[in-house]
Amino acid sequence: MELQIKDFEDYEKTYRYSVEHPEEFWAGIADTFFWRKKWTNVLNWNFKEPNIKWFENGKLNITENCLDRHIYTNGDKPAIIWEPNDPTESARVLSYKQLLEKVEQFANVLKNNGVRKGDRVCIYLPMVPELAIAVLSCARVGAIHSVVFGGFSAQSIADRINDAECSLVITADGNYRGTKVVELKSIVDDALVQCKTINKVIVLTRARIGVSMIKGRDVWWEDEIHKVESQGNPAYPAEEMDAEDPLFVLYTSGSTGKPKGVVHTTAGYMVYTGYTFSNVFQYKSDEVFFCTADIGWITGHSYIVYGPLSQGATSLMFEGIPTWPDAGRLWDVVAKHKVNILYTAPTAIRSLMAAGDQYIDDKDLSTITKLGSVGEPINEEAWHWYNEKVGKGKAPIVDTWWQTENGGILISAIAGITPTKPGYAMLPLPGVQPVLMDENGKILEGNGVSGNLCIKFPWPGMLRTTWGDHERCRLTYFSTYEDMYFTGDGCLRDEEGYYRITGRVDDVLNVSGHRIGTAELENAINMHSDVVESAIVGYPHPVKGQGIYAFVIVEDHQKDLELTRKDINATVVRLIGAIARPDKIQFVRDLPKTRSGKIMRRILRKIVEGDFANVGDTTTLLDPSVVEEIKEGADKMK
């Protein structure tokens, strides 16, 4: 089967075929990959338990698909182009051949340090090629990687390590971000005080800052590589994995409790990311693909590492931030590396747009032929700026909707093949069966309807479980609607049948494209000794999409509240990370609660949106007068 859809007619035909004959459809896609042994059964599933198995009894290793198979045909092609934080430092290019050598080398390092198939390895690294090498090396030896975004705190790392019982951490001395150096190793040291399962830490030299190395536990990446070299650089044949062996765990926030470890398995994830990468971006063999995400998030896993590499593409990795040394940096990177496809987030587009056109107008963006957006709804203004300033009106924009749990893109235009419309994710990819549900749990048929977005049939890239707690997976995604995967998103299907994602319908915020669980954040704020209770809601933010608004009850109102505000921020940064720091903190005497003690977030949401007129009925509240007080306070916060 050809992987790429050819035209709109082909899309319609393929879509129909994928619904009528899903197993044949996916078997055809899977056939384009390299298997040590083919599957005996394409799909076995139920959404009740849930129990989802794709390509049962198939044997493979994803790195043979991402690396080895390209060596014979295209070994010298750049696999990874790396652009450093500092524009005066040299870029690095790793061909497929070189990347495979490095992965085999580091797979040997992992083996030498006791890592075996099935072990969990935590990766906390900057956006340097070694991050991709570490990820792929884990996959090579059959270890399950758990990448933690470099912006998370020591506590967040510890929680993730303990949940997955990781045995080894891979980190670096420090991480450059613009003019700042983040002391990664020192953060890991703080985390490990709480972790009993870690017996080795491999430390990469990046920022050349002083670190404390603990005897017997900590080793340098470079020293370990030298050891492998002195052993004569033995090859590392890829471990044979079962199709359903876990490939990685990635933690993501939900509406309740601590982040969940979303588990993706080998074959389904590989097939799905390869298929969606090739199709959505219509990748052609010499194109340079630039996804600006961090590998610490699912977008980086799927569209910097696995998707592009399984398709033999050239993937550009950028260590820095789009606004340093100035707001033209991203465009400089595009020009320097002749990027053809740019995949970024609306929040980045909005911040570069706000910086002013003088940063983009004189840049050479002539190589760009396709653009992508991901992570949050894109507003029309940002869409048009992206289209006109970046794509010069000639590059189709694919607004790709998906989630950590999905593995890859589910609803999106296919670049140059299916239509686009500002703010719309458009149409499901072949193989994806979305449905909209009303509040009574009935499927909304036809067009011109809005409801909760569910997927009614499995796709290979979907999560299989949440690490260590299958019941939590069932409850979160498969119990709201019978026999459906529930996304947590609201969605409109317009008169023409095009999909528009309207945002989360649960208590999850989307701040600069990052998922923040309100319960998790409230728990962090409540840890502060002066705080009695708190409630978090999102509010419209011009750059971040949503900003974080915290209502906080403190014990002593006479205290210096400015200081308390700073202390609360510091508490959040320590317990979660800077991405969860509230934008606004309003101190309140009480929160609007029902007689049974439930916080009425709907009221708080209306207040922070400034929509005082639609706060609704407050008579059922325990103390209706708090609403007026909060409104007054909110007015002063503006």
Q: Which of 268, 296, 377, 538 binds ligand PRX (CB under 6 A)?
A: 377
Q: What stretch of H or E contains 470?
A: helix 470-473
Question: What is the three-class DSSP state of 612?
Answer: helix
| Candidate segments 459-467, 476-484, 498-506, 574-582, binder of ligand PRX by CB under 6 A | 498-506
Is residue 510 at the binding interface for ligand PRX, with CB under 6 A as the rule?
yes
Q: Which of 376, 507, 520, 522 binds ligand PRX (CB under 6 A)?
A: 376
CB-CB contact of 246 with 265 (8 Å): yes
Token output for 17: 């075929």
Annotate each residue in 514-543 with x if it binds ligand PRX (CB under 6 A) or - if it does not, as one string.
-x----------------------------
The sign of the CA dihedral 458, 460, 462, 466 is positive
Assess 374 for contact with ligand PRX (CB under 6 A). Answer: yes
Residue of 39, 402, 499, 539 interacting with ligand PRX (CB under 6 A): 402
- List the alpha helices (DSSP H) in 5-95: 8-20, 22-30, 62-63, 69-74
CB 21 to ligand PRX: min, Å: 28
Both tokens assigned to 156: 């967040």
Which tokens sit at 409? 């893109």
Which lies closer to ligand PRX via its Cβ, residue 171 or residue 252? 252
Sign of CA dihedral 570, 252, 296, 192: positive
> Counting contacts by CB under 6 A, is residue 425 touching ligand PRX?
yes
Residues of span 125-184 touching ligand PRX by CB under 6 A: none
Residue of 175, 404, 571, 586 interacting with ligand PRX (CB under 6 A): 404
Per-position DSSP letters for 290-350, written without gaps between them: EE-S-TTSHHHIIIIIIHHHHTT-EEEEE-S-TTSSSTTHHHHHHHHTT-SEEEE-HHHHH
- Closest residue to ligand PRX, judged by C-beta, is 404
Shortest gap between Cβ of 502 and ligand PRX (angstroms)? 8
String marking each residue 194-233 x if it binds ligand PRX according to CB under 6 A? ----------------------------------------
Under rule CB under 6 A, residue 501 binds ligand PRX: yes
CB 60, CB 69: distance < 8 Å? no
- Residues in 228-287 that interact with ligand PRX by CB under 6 A: 252
Q: Distance between CA 566 and CA 152 in Å, rounded? A: 19
Upper half-sphere CA count for residue 544 (Cβ side, 13 Å): 20
* 298 interacts with ligand PRX by CB under 6 A: yes
Candidates 489, 507, 520, 522; binder of ligand PRX (CB under 6 A) is 489
Residues 57-76 interacting with ligand PRX (rule: CB under 6 A):
none
- Residue 61 or 156: which CB sits closer to ligand PRX? 156
For the CB of residue 284, give the shortest distance to ligand PRX in the complex, in Å: 23
Query: What SS3 class is residue 364?
Result: coil
By CB under 6 A, residue 488 contacts ligand PRX: yes
Q: Which stretch, 19-27, 200-208, 393-401, 441-449, contacts ligand PRX (CB under 6 A)?
A: 393-401
Asked whether the CA dihedral 439, 441, 446, 451 is positive or negative, the reply is: positive
Please give the Cα distance from 398 to 394 (Å, whole number).
13
**Binding flag, residue 399, ligand PRX (CB under 6 A):** yes
Q: In 10 A of CB 550, how many CB atoms?
A: 25
434 contributes a contact to ligand PRX by CB under 6 A: no
Contact set with ligand PRX (CB under 6 A)? 252, 298-299, 374-377, 399-404, 425, 487-489, 501, 503-504, 510, 515
